[in-house]
């Protein structure tokens, strides 16, 4: 049967971009459908006060690249656009510790540390990971904190996806023997998470996606997929029809494309709601585990704001260092560029308490006891320059389940303790750090009042399992119940890495793509994989 494409990839983040390159190299005709826009360096805003160019809020006709999503148990920060999360993430590319490879629903499927060992170095090479060469104010303070808590050897500079060439000087591609795009060196402006305007950040459009296009892959931006239907055989062995609509138009242009195979790579907030919808419609044989096993890195995000005009936190890369506070926990200083102080609108003094009444009382008490200090902090000049954000992460394996209703997707508890915005160790470390830089800890008002934690690392929802009864996909990312269908994104992560998952998503997708034979051989679907 003739199809428009051999593979359609839904989403262009870390999983989608790897899939696009490797499938194109194997001779397949590939199309990437991306809901967000395709952005160049000069399309990014100078600061995040330019909300229309920064945030993705289609109802308000804001078509930026940063998305903020609220659930009952979690607030999620994510990226939208060609390049997915690479447009907004903080560049860090750590390998998880050993516990990650031996926990979660995937643990018994393989010796994952050995299985993925060749793919982590490959992912690092493709993403251009190098050690951050500079310690800035926030990094030096973290190093001092490491000594104060008796862990000086646990501080280290981070491996980051940044080109540290000559700033403002364009040179031929330094990563892929001239096959990649021209590049310019990092300016250490701290603007990594609001879109790199200087071509220093190694976003996916500068490596995997760029090379995939040279191999013939096509990218269709501003196209949201709303249905996937098998053609002929119900297991999809005859292919699929993919239905999409224009995501940025008032008058929703629509289209239909046929494909032999399909890769879901829209991230947890793209893949999971789509599959939950399809399970009730055109793909009923999907596992009942769709939406289950959703987890975070058990994060705590705490701002440290100073009134000292001699202190500057905004210089450097988004995350330049890391402190391993114990075998399960990490602390990283995160920065925004000078002028990007939008978050000041959502911050309040850091408090904790068992319920909203206690927390509101503590918040009110802090405001009454320190009125002048809080007023000065609220109106501090150049908030981003004076604020260091601390990202604390742990490997705690509690999980949520995402479900779909008339009102959209919502979260429920599945296993373990509920995510919390009040991790005692995180708050203790934040106070110690604040003392070092003469500052005060602040948190998002959603945490202070509602007690809802914030994450930039939402994972799971399409986890691995030995059968469809305990997972959505197998150990090679193939979807149970359907042929020629994979999930390659953060929703496939089946345990808590405790660190930024971007490198792991990349390595795991490289592993999945390595199992697919070239077009000169057989289709993946010809490998025996019976539907359940």
Closest CA to 265 of 530, 23, 524, 525: 23
Pairing relation of β-strands 254-264 and 240-246?
Answer: antiparallel
- How does DSSP assign 231-293, residue by residue? -SSTTSTT-EEEEEEESS-SS--EEEEEEEEEEE-S-HHHHHHHHHHHHTTT-TTS-TTTT-S
What are the DSSP E strand ranges found in 56-180? 56-57, 62-63, 66-70, 75-79, 129-131, 155-157, 159-161, 170-171
Closest CA to 513 of 15, 7, 19: 19
Structure tokens belonging to residue 59: 């109802």
Structure tokens belonging to residue 65: 């690249």
Structure tokens belonging to residue 293: 């096993």
Largest CA distance in the chain: 74
Angle at 14 between CA 390 and CA 131, to 5 degrees: 50
End-to-end CA distance of the chain: 24
- Which one of 457, 467, 511, 528 is the catalytic residue? 457
Local structure of residue 222 (DSSP, 8 states)? S
- Three-state DSSP state, 397: coil
- How does DSSP assign 177-215, residue by residue? TT-S--EEB---BS-GGG--SSS-B--GGGTHHHHHHHT
Q: Report the distance separating Cα 428 and Cα 528, nearest Å.
A: 53
Q: Report the distance separating Cα 129 and Cα 497, nearest Å.
A: 18
Pairing relation of β-strands 223-230 and 321-326?
Answer: unpaired
- Three-state DSSP state, 59: helix
Cα separation values, 374 from 118, 250, 379, 451, 530, Å: 51, 43, 9, 21, 62
Q: Report the distance separating Cα 167 and Cα 228, nearest Å.
A: 45
Closest CA to 235 of 462, 442, 482, 487: 482
Residues 6 or more apart from 368 whose CB is under 8 A from it?
none
Please answer whether residues 55 and 433 qualify as being in contact, where contact means their C-beta atoms are separated by less than 8 angstroms: no
Structure tokens belonging to residue 126: 């493709």
Residue 457: active-site member: yes
What are the DSSP E strand ranges found in 346-458? 347-349, 387-394, 399-405, 408-415, 439-444, 454-455
Would you please indicate which residues are annotated as catalytic (active-site) residues?
457
């Amino acid at each position: 049967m003739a199809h428009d494409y051999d593979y359609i990839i839904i989403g262009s983040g870390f999983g989608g971009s790897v899939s696009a390159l490797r499938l194109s190299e194997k001779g397949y005709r590939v199309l990437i459908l991306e809901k967000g826009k395709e952005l160049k360096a000069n399309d990014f805003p100078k600061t995040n006060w330019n909300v229309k160019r920064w945030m993705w809020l289609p109802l308000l006709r804001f078509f930026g690249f940063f998305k903020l999503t609220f659930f009952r148990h979690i607030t999620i920060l994510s990226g939208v656009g060609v390049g997915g999360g690479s447009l907004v993430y903080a560049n860090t590319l750590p390998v998880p510790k050993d516990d990650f490879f031996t926990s979660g629903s995937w643990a018994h499927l393989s010796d994952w540390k050995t299985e993925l060992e060749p793919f982590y170095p490959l992912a690092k090479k493709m993403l251009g990971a190098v050690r951050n060469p500079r310690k800035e104010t926030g990094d030096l303070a973290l190093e001092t904190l490491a000594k104060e808590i008796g862990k000086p050897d646990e501080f280290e500079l981070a491996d980051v996806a940044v080109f540290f060439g000559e700033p403002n000087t364009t040179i031929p591609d330094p990563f892929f023997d001239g096959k990649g795009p021209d590049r310019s060196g990092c300016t250490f402006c701290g603007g990594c998470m609001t879109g790199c305007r200087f071509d220093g950040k190694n976003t996916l459009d500068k490596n995997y996606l760029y090379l995939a296009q040279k191999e013939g892959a096509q990218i269709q931006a501003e196209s949201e997929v709303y249905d996937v239907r098998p053609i002929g055989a119900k297991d999809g062995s005859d292919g699929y029809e993919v239905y999409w609509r224009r995501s940025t138009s008032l008058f929703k242009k629509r289209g239909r494309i046929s494909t032999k195979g399909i890769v879901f790579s829209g991230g947890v907030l793209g893949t999971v709601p789509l599959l939950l919808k399809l399970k009730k419609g055109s793909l009923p044989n999907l596992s009942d585990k769709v939406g289950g096993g959703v987890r975070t890195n058990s994060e705590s995000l705490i701002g440290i704001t100073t009134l000292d005009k001699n202190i500057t936190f905004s210089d450097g890369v988004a995350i330049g260092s890391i402190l391993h506070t114990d075998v399960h926990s990490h602390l990283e200083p995160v920065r925004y560029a000078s002028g990007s102080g939008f978050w000041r609108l959502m911050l309040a003094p850091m408090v904790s308490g068992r319920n909203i009444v206690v927390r509101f009382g503590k918040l009110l008490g802090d405001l009454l006891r320190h009125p002048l200090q809080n007023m000065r902090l609220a109106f501090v000049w150049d908030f981003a320059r004076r604020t260091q954000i601390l990202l604390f992460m742990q490997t705690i394996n509690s999980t949520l389940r995402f479900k779909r209703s008339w009102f959209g997707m919502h979260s429920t508890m599945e296993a373990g303790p509920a995510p919390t915005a009040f991790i005692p160790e995180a708050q203790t470390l934040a106070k110690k750090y604040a003392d070092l830089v003469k500052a005060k800890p602040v948190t998002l008002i959603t945490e202070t009042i509602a007690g809802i934690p914030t994450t930039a690392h939402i994972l799971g929802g399409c986890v691995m399992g030995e059968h469809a009864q305990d997972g959505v996909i197998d150990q090679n990312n193939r979807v149970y119940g359907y042929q020629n269908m994979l999930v390659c994104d953060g929703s496939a992560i089946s345990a808590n890495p405790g660190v930024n998952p971007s490198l792991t998503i990349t390595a795991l997708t490289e592993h999945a793509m390595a199992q697919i034979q070239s077009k000169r051989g057989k289709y993946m679907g010809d490998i025996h994989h019976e539907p359940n």
